[in-house]
Structure 1
């Protein structure tokens, strides 16, 4: 039996290899690998796949968020430009309305001034005619008074009135 053990031991004097121990260790190593594959490697790979999927989903979500942010930014810029354009249009409309209103006010003021001027001229003309009429009446009464003193007994009162009225008409026509 010694020879069998001797054959299994190679260089046992120096701590050589023993074939049986090596085969037993190899067997247990293979069993350990099989157990690791079944109980550790599978769950570990599942965890790694889940982690990989989670990271991919997070990257995809980040890309989607970035795209949405860019879209929102573009929409905000478009809305800002639209608001600016509307504000500019409102300003232009207000300016044109102000100019139009200014022109209307000036036209109304000119019209009112013309109306006042025409009314004043009409009042002046009326006052002038009243003054002329008053003057004519005064002249007529003075003429009658003078004429009555000059020709007191030669003309009758009706003849004097007739003469004065003719004189007043002549005076009025000369003007």
Structure 2
């Protein structure tokens, strides 16, 4: 302590130079110790904190971009889904119209088939009627021939007989 008292006794303009030098020495020693043991770890901690905050900001920005991308993809997918739904509806309408046309065409073909069958039946009935008429003509011819054989006909009687026969055949038709 004597060394300190020697320097502390010198006074310049009201300052104790010894005390100032001791305080300056301890302040320099404190700065050296702080720089060596505290400043490096504090700066490292501050640097790590700065990197952490920067990484968090970067991660948040990436998350925001990913969210925007996902939202855009969802919107695109929704748009695509709407287009597909519209196409399905249009395809169903087209299929409905085609089925309607197929049903109409099928009904038309069935009607034509029924009409053709009816015409064939009419033709068959007509042929049967003609066959029956021919059979009657044949029997009438035999009847006329038998009457002719029974009685000798004059040209006038023969003409009258033919006209009566034609008249009778016309009435049966």
TM-score w.r.t. length of structure 2: 0.75
Question: By how many angstroms is 1:2 displaced?
Answer: 5.5
Q: Quick one: structure 1 residues 30 and 138, their matched pair in 2 at CA, closer, same or farther if it must change by over 3 Å?
A: same
- Let me know the Cα RMSD of the aligned residues: 3.4
**Matching residue of 2:82:** 81
Q: CA deviation at 1:134?
A: 0.6
1:53-98, CA deviations, whole angstroms, 9 ceiling, x for partnerless residues? Answer: 2111101110011101111111121111111111111111111111
Match of 1:172 among 164, 169, 172: 169
Count of aligned positions: 163
Question: How does 1:15-164 map onto structure 2 within 5 Å?
Answer: 19=19, 22-35=23-36, 39-149=40-150, 151=151, 154=152
Residue in structure 1 matched with residue 5 of structure 2 by the alignment: 5
Distance 1:4 1:22 in 2: 11
Q: TM-score, normalised by structure 1?
A: 0.74
CA distance in 1, matches of 2:34, 2:158: 158
Question: Distance in 2 between the 1:118 and 1:27 partners?
Answer: 130
* 1:85–1:4 Cα change, 3 Å: closer
Gaps of 5+ in 2: 10-17
